Chain A
Amino acid sequence: MELDPDDVFRDDDDDPENEALRQRASSKELVVYLVDASPKMFSTNCPSEDQKDESHFRIAISCILESLKTQIINRSYDEVAVCFFNTREKKNLQDLNSVFVFNVADREFLDRPTAKFIKELSRLEEFFVKEIGSQHGIVSGSRENSLYNALWVAQALLRKGSAKTADKRILIFTDEDDPFGNIKGGAKADMTRTTLQRVKDAQDLGISIELLPLSQLDREFNVSLFYADLIGLQGEDLAQFVPAAGERMEDMKYQLRKRMFKKRIVRKLTFSVANGVSIEVHTYAFIRPTVLGSITWLDSVTNQPIKIERSFICADTGALMQEPPKHFQTYKNQNVKFSVEELSEIKRVSTGQLRLLGFKPLSCLKDYHNLRPSTFIFPSDEEVIGSTRIFIALHRSMIRLNRFAVAFYGTSSHSQLVALVAQEEIIDSGGQVEPPGMHMICLPYSDDIRHAEELHSGTNAAIPRANEDQIKKAAALIKRIDLKDFSVYQFANPGLQRHYAILQALALEEDDLPEIKDETVPDEEGLARPGVVKAIEEFKLSVYGDKYDESDNAGHKKVSEASKKRKALADGAVQKSAQYNWDALADSGKLKDLTVVELKFYLSAHDLPVSGKKEDLVKRILTHMGK
């Protein structure tokens, strides 16, 4: 079966109305990676994971590469530039010395990352010495200041795009904590001053500058020598900086491949609390099934995208027509017609957007009262002053009294009875785990609830219930197989991760697929521990007696009526089918003289589909016989 990945992960809830809004609101990030390429960066003096010594330069590049590979999936509209300083060659718009902006064809210096860009960057070592070269840029006696130049180039690159819609960053990778150390006297002060001035200018333009220092084995990167001033570190932050930066490097490398979403307001709602008092709340899509990137149909010959054209054809006359304005439903043997306006009028059942109906104890909210992902609600005083205060008061009361609110959420296109569940803020060492606010949960209607559990009742005999001992054994078992610190966020979606890995491998023409670990498989080892095995055996003995294995088999033996019938039919067909000389019939072209029933004997005897017209059946038989 062909599974359309888009279909599997489709988010049918997202509102098309808001699509445009999302596109505009999501601002992008413009990043310039400034990598120090001085000879010092190439000395191998940093032990890597597999105990092989690696140069700082290589670490920086692999870090950028990993980050790019995630970024191309997460936020592919972000733009990046990779720029080396302290180089022999120069390549930049300003034609400044010792600065080399790395790039590939068909791409501006600062542009979206492409597969080619990533691939070339990963091959960097092969041509770095020849085409770029490493050289100390700041030497005493010369007025040249490569760091200054690099910052200037980066700033010029980031001129693109308005400061409003883009986040602009410069990331500096270096292991030189005192870039002007070789310079003496007034020249040093001068260079320091101009460089800092350059940084200030950049910051004034809304560019943030970050430093990722690479420490030497024997000597830690001393931020206070120069860079503290550059990035504006003071006091306590200063001490924290180097270890924290180390963590950030790790983070950059091991990010999950997932598309990132900017926090955006899905909707601004009026929440009518009582008698004409309405407050303003904003809704946010907190948890939504992730969909793969969009799929484009291509012509496999030219690899060009295909245009999909939709046309409407009248079934009676075959005439081509415009999108019809009316729809109909066959009812009581007549076609009842509806105009689009009438249909939308039917759906508009509520005038307010979110209307409070009352409160209920939390125990009334059952586990099966769910249809789709919840939506988060947070108050805002932007348009209606006083909203936050009422919201917080209700929030606190609901938590204290263990109640949730029932409300009717109605928009022009969709309406639903919802539960509003107050959530208290939860903070752990890593920050906010659950923000304070309310979660809006769609409640099903009676039409949406099914009663499958009642299907199999109906016999006189009461359904068996577990006894005390069996429950006790089950409890012991549950205690044994306990996931203590389970968090819903802990598993990555293996299907999705695999998808991205394959995509990356194909796009970058990598030879082997990156290994994706399926985190969702049970811990077989843990389950084989004697304590667990003992609890399982005791439970089995208590519930199944010594018949566990029999019951296992019995399940297989018990076949439903329908499948028994099917089997009998197939058996019959095999017997009947044996009465014909199919080969001869096929060769003499006499198959078509048989009846459909007869043809089906062959098909069912060979487990082939029996649907279709007689011609299809004959064709199918011939294909199966290989003729």
Chain B
Amino acid sequence: MARNKEALVLLLDVGPSMHHLLPEVEKICSMIVQKKLVYSKYDEVGVVLFGTEETENELTMEVGGYEHVVVLQNIKVVDGDLVETLKKIPRGTLPGDFLDAIVVGMDMLIKKYSSTNKGKKRLCLITNGLSPIKDPYEGSKEDQVNAIAQQMTSHGMKLESVVVRESVVLDENVSVMEENDRILNLFPKRTCAKMVFVESSTSLLGALKTRSISPVTIFRGDLEISPKLKIKVWVYKKTSEEKFPTLKKYSDKAPSTDKFASHEVKVDFEYKSVEDANKVVPPEQRIKGYQYGPQVVPISADEWDAVKFKPEKSVKVLGFTDSSNIMRHHYMKDVNIFIADPGDQNAILAVSALARAMKEMHKVAILRCVWRQGQGNVVVGALTPNVSDNDHVPDSFYFNVLPFAEDVREFQFPSFSNLPASLLPDEEQQEAADNFVKMLDLAPSDKEEMLQPDFTPNPVLERFYNYLELKSKHPDAAVPPLDKTLKRITEPDPELLAKKKSAIDSLLRHFEVKQNPKLKKSMKRMREKPSGSDEEDNYRRITSKNKVDLIENGVKVEKIGDLTPVQDFELMMSRRDNPEWINRAITEMKNKIHDLIEDSIEGDNYPKALDLLVALRKGCILEQEPKQFNDFLHQLCKFCLEHDLRSFCDFLASKGITLISKTEAVDSDVTEEEARNYLVKREAKPE
């Protein structure tokens, strides 16, 4: 009953010139089947080889000809055996004829489905196109291609050809290659066909779509340039991240004898009242609360619906602007594509005219989009032209979402030119860098662009499906290392590095990097330091402070240092030239304690903090400032509880630190019992 099931016939060139590529071909073909086993397990696949010694196909028996084409696998529903078959493709001995293979594959599809299943029949040809094709019995090769193309169109088949073209082609092959390219290129002109050239094994892995996803429009309607000019468009996703598959949770609770156990785990969410853990709050009694400052404001869905922002479904052009006004890094999300309504010839023309004009003028259109009725927000984005050079593909637009004012965080960074010369490259260094950038070129003019996104497979997903296949046979297998071909994506190409060694060496010669030797602090601390500008601030603050101190106080102790904080504190408290010193000493001490606790790792600073706290307590009693200490202790405990530093409170309690009570200082409003119980009580309180 699978309505969307696809029939695919793989046409694989296994002639001698292909042998070194076959491992990659095996990988991509088995990947296609593996993914089908996961995502569309009712799809059907057949395999045809050409360039083989033997001949084995129905056509040769029926009409003769079609030699050296072997049907390795008739069209059947995908299964594990097929994966195995594709992992060991037999090598052929003769140059193969891809046109013969196409006809055989076509014949298989026609026999199996006749004209049903339109649009879901696909032929995939993988060849290097270096073997000559035979002249047909009658007419020219062009005529033959035309006849095949017509058949394919009438049966609703698609042809995808992947031509592997490595850089070195021997002279005698050039004419054959050109001829073959010309013939293969005829298909896209005549029928629904696509042809791609790849140069490396990595891009071969990415050249075929391993998972077919039926496209869905996210919007059909008017692209409104003004109320008087509306163009009918369909909007699809152009990119959408293929996520790592979500695996089910496994339950081993079912007895091993139970053959039909699903082993699934249901995740259940229960909404319970905070006060009474046994009371379940029914869904209709739940209401959403929104944070407003420290409060939570309950707003019911109905209330919300009545007042919320409700824009009308529409896609409107706000205007056009220079493409330089939009930076590449402003693009926010995956990309959409706008295509004219395929049934509306005029709309196709209108889109084509606008796209071409925008391209010439380097303009983009700014759009306001509400894709669906009832959507609670609008999207503003940039429409950029995508002019097609294939006669069968219409011109279209790409659409990228742009940020709103709220989405942009205005961070300031120092200008490079204002940095000290020691951080800037000199002329020679700059030259070395220039050379390096020029040399480490991934898109040389005479070769294919390397790591082109369109042909680069996702290494993580490839690895997962390979491991899945492995585990299905050997449940205890360990994760194998990353495939060599996939390593070309995650690591620099050693071949390229070797070739451009001089540029790299020169870069390394000109620049020196070393670990900062002064860096001895813990990682955590470094992470917390926010940025250059803040450090500068601190620096300024410290210097200005020192200046003031010097003028005012000469040599007397005017701040609490790190070495002898307790002594410093006591000296400061005993100064009598200004009563303010006491306050200052207390404040500084508090900050010191605070910092110690905050910076402590697993309580390593606690004993030190305790010493200071004891000194502070003593000082506060002496100077009759109990409130200062008591408030501070309250605050400190609160801070600790809020910041997961409970252990400090417990530590204090264990060392017998208490609030300052009335008996110790008359000004205190804390009784002795309260003072003693303060920390203890806190400890006993359940979380």
Of B239, B286, B378, B419, which is within 8 A of A298 by CB?
A: B286
Q: Closest CB-CB distance, A471 to chain B, in whole Å? A: 5
| Contacting pair A481 B317 (CB below 8 A) | yes
Q: Closest CB-CB distance, B351 to chain A, in whole Å? A: 8
How far is B394's CA from A294's CA once the two chains are assembled, in angstroms?
Answer: 44
Given A3-B376, A338-B247, A355-B490, also A475-B514 (CB < 8 A) = no
| Contacting pair A287 B407 (CB below 8 A) | yes
Q: Closest CB-CB distance, B248 to chain A, in whole Å? A: 6
| Contacting pair A494 B378 (CB below 8 A) | yes
| Contacting pair A552 B357 (CB below 8 A) | no
A366 cross-chain contacts in B, Cβ below 8 A: 453
Q: Closest CB-CB distance, B539 to chain A, in whole Å? A: 13
Q: Closest CB-CB distance, B126 to chain A, in whole Å? A: 15
| Contacting pair A370 B595 (CB below 8 A) | no
Closest 5 CB pairs of A and B: A495-B377, A452-B236, A466-B353, A458-B192, A439-B329
B330 cross-chain contacts in A, Cβ below 8 A: 287, 374, 488
How far is B296's CA from A295's CA once the two chains are assembled, in angstroms?
Answer: 9
**Which B residue sits closest to A545, measured CB to CB?**
B346
Given A290-B406, A373-B332, A450-B239, also A383-B253 (CB < 8 A) = no
Does A361 make an interface contact (CB < 8 A)?
A: yes
Given A365-B328, A478-B354, A491-B404, also A359-B368 (CB < 8 A) = no
B261 cross-chain contacts in A, Cβ below 8 A: 316
Q: Which of A9, A369, A448 has the most CB of B within 10 A?
A: A448
Does A301 make an interface contact (CB < 8 A)?
A: yes
Within 8 A of B (CB), among A290-342: 290, 292-317, 319, 321, 323-324, 326-332, 334-338, 342
How far is B331's CA from A376's CA once the two chains are assembled, in angstroms?
Answer: 13
Does A531 make an interface contact (CB < 8 A)?
A: no
Q: Which of A364, A392, A410 has the most CB of B within 10 A?
A: A392
Does A181 make an interface contact (CB < 8 A)?
A: no
Q: Closest CB-CB distance, B379 to chain A, in whole Å? A: 9
Interface mask (A151-188 → B, CB under 8 Å = 1, otherwise 0): 00000000110111100000000000000000000000
**Which B residue sits closest to A198, measured CB to CB?**
B580
| Contacting pair A478 B38 (CB below 8 A) | no
B398 cross-chain contacts in A, Cβ below 8 A: 367-368
Does A21 make an interface contact (CB < 8 A)?
A: yes
| Contacting pair A489 B298 (CB below 8 A) | no
B137 cross-chain contacts in A, Cβ below 8 A: none
How far is B528's CA from A496's CA once the two chains are assembled, in angstroms?
Answer: 31
A518 cross-chain contacts in B, Cβ below 8 A: 309, 311, 378
Does A613 make an interface contact (CB < 8 A)?
A: no
Q: Closest CB-CB distance, A622 to chain B, in whole Å? A: 22
Does B307 make an interface contact (CB < 8 A)?
A: yes
How far is B308's CA from A503's CA once the two chains are assembled, in angstroms?
Answer: 10
Does A59 make an interface contact (CB < 8 A)?
A: no
How far is B479's CA from A486's CA once the two chains are assembled, in angstroms?
Answer: 51
How far is B267's CA from A406's CA once the two chains are assembled, in angstroms?
Answer: 41
| Contacting pair A448 B240 (CB below 8 A) | yes
Does A429 make an interface contact (CB < 8 A)?
A: no
Q: Closest CB-CB distance, A376 to chain B, in whole Å? A: 8
Q: Closest CB-CB distance, B659 to chain A, in whole Å? A: 18
Within 8 A of A (CB), among B258-275: 258, 261-275
| Contacting pair B228 A396 (CB below 8 A) | no
A460 cross-chain contacts in B, Cβ below 8 A: 153, 190-191
Q: Which of A274, A359, A387 has the most CB of B within 10 A?
A: A274
| Contacting pair A483 B528 (CB below 8 A) | no
Of A316, A383, A486, A544, which is within 8 A of B321 by CB?
A: A486
User: What are 23 A-B interface contacts by the 8 Å CB criterion?
Assistant: A204-B545, A274-B440, A274-B497, A287-B329, A296-B296, A306-B273, A312-B268, A328-B263, A330-B248, A336-B471, A358-B441, A368-B239, A383-B526, A386-B511, A394-B436, A410-B490, A441-B329, A447-B457, A458-B191, A462-B392, A481-B320, A483-B318, A543-B350
B594 cross-chain contacts in A, Cβ below 8 A: 162
Does A594 make an interface contact (CB < 8 A)?
A: no
Does B548 make an interface contact (CB < 8 A)?
A: yes
Interface mask (B349-382 → A, CB under 8 Å = 1, otherwise 0): 1101110111011010010100000111110100
How far is B378's CA from A8's CA once the two chains are assembled, in angstroms?
Answer: 11
| Contacting pair A163 B591 (CB below 8 A) | yes
Does B396 make an interface contact (CB < 8 A)?
A: yes
Of A258, A307, A544, which is within 8 A of B350 by CB?
A: A544
| Contacting pair A551 B344 (CB below 8 A) | yes
How far is B423's CA from A381's CA once the two chains are assembled, in angstroms?
Answer: 9
B337 cross-chain contacts in A, Cβ below 8 A: 368, 452-453
| Contacting pair A475 B357 (CB below 8 A) | yes
Looking at A96-104, A244-252, A263-271, A576-584, the stretch in contact with chain B turns out to be: A263-271
Q: Which of A285, A306, A415, A475 has the most CB of B within 10 A?
A: A306
Within 8 A of B (CB), among A371-390: 371-374, 376, 378, 381-390
A319 cross-chain contacts in B, Cβ below 8 A: 253
| Contacting pair A495 B344 (CB below 8 A) | no
Interface mask (A439-468 → B, CB under 8 Å = 1, otherwise 0): 101011111111011111111101111100
Of A286, A358, A465, which is within 8 A of B492 by CB?
A: A358
Task: For chain B, give the interface size range.
Answer: 35 or more
Interface mask (A547-572 → B, CB under 8 Å = 1, otherwise 0): 11001101100100000000000000
Question: Which secondary structure dominates chain B's binding surface?
Answer: mixed
Does A585 make an interface contact (CB < 8 A)?
A: no
Of A301, A312, A410, A495, which is within 8 A of B265 by CB?
A: A312
| Contacting pair A307 B271 (CB below 8 A) | yes
How far is B551's CA from A218's CA once the two chains are assembled, in angstroms?
Answer: 42
Known pairs A287-B329, A307-B277, A527-B226. 15 more at Cβ < 8 A? A259-B406, A265-B531, A274-B497, A274-B507, A312-B268, A315-B262, A328-B248, A346-B467, A366-B453, A374-B331, A458-B191, A466-B356, A471-B357, A539-B353, A552-B230
**Which B residue sits closest to A203, measured CB to CB?**
B544
How far is B359's CA from A471's CA once the two chains are assembled, in angstroms?
Answer: 10
Q: Closest CB-CB distance, A394 to chain B, in whole Å? A: 5
B455 cross-chain contacts in A, Cβ below 8 A: 446
Q: Which of A292, A302, A328, A473 has the most CB of B within 10 A?
A: A328
B238 cross-chain contacts in A, Cβ below 8 A: 368, 449-450, 452
How far is B455's CA from A364's CA once the two chains are assembled, in angstroms?
Answer: 13
How far is B325's CA from A361's CA once the two chains are assembled, in angstroms?
Answer: 20
| Contacting pair A371 B319 (CB below 8 A) | no
B185 cross-chain contacts in A, Cβ below 8 A: none
Given A308-B270, A310-B268, A449-B454, also A390-B513 (CB < 8 A) = yes
Within 8 A of A (CB), among B221-260: 224-230, 232, 236-242, 244-245, 247-254, 258
Does B527 make an interface contact (CB < 8 A)?
A: yes
| Contacting pair B392 A383 (CB below 8 A) | no
Does A360 make an interface contact (CB < 8 A)?
A: yes
B411 cross-chain contacts in A, Cβ below 8 A: 263, 284, 286, 376, 435
How far is B241's CA from A49's CA once the two chains are assembled, in angstroms?
Answer: 52
Does B186 make an interface contact (CB < 8 A)?
A: no
Given A274-B508, A498-B309, also A388-B406 (CB < 8 A) = no
Q: Closest CB-CB distance, A236 to chain B, in whole Å? A: 19
Does A620 make an interface contact (CB < 8 A)?
A: no
Looking at B97-105, B166-174, B204-212, the stretch in contact with chain A turns out to be: B204-212
Given A329-B248, A417-B489, A446-B209, also A371-B239 (CB < 8 A) = yes
Does B496 make an interface contact (CB < 8 A)?
A: yes
Given A279-B513, A536-B228, also A492-B285 (CB < 8 A) = no
**Which A residue sits closest to B580, measured CB to CB?**
A201
Does A349 make an interface contact (CB < 8 A)?
A: yes
| Contacting pair A486 B325 (CB below 8 A) | yes
B211 cross-chain contacts in A, Cβ below 8 A: 447
Q: Closest CB-CB distance, B461 to chain A, in whole Å? A: 6
How far is B121's CA from A46's CA once the two chains are assembled, in angstroms?
Answer: 80
| Contacting pair A527 B408 (CB below 8 A) | no
Interface mask (B402-423 → A, CB under 8 Å = 1, otherwise 0): 1111111101110110010001
| Contacting pair B436 A397 (CB below 8 A) | yes
**Which B residue sits closest to A343, measured CB to CB?**
B247
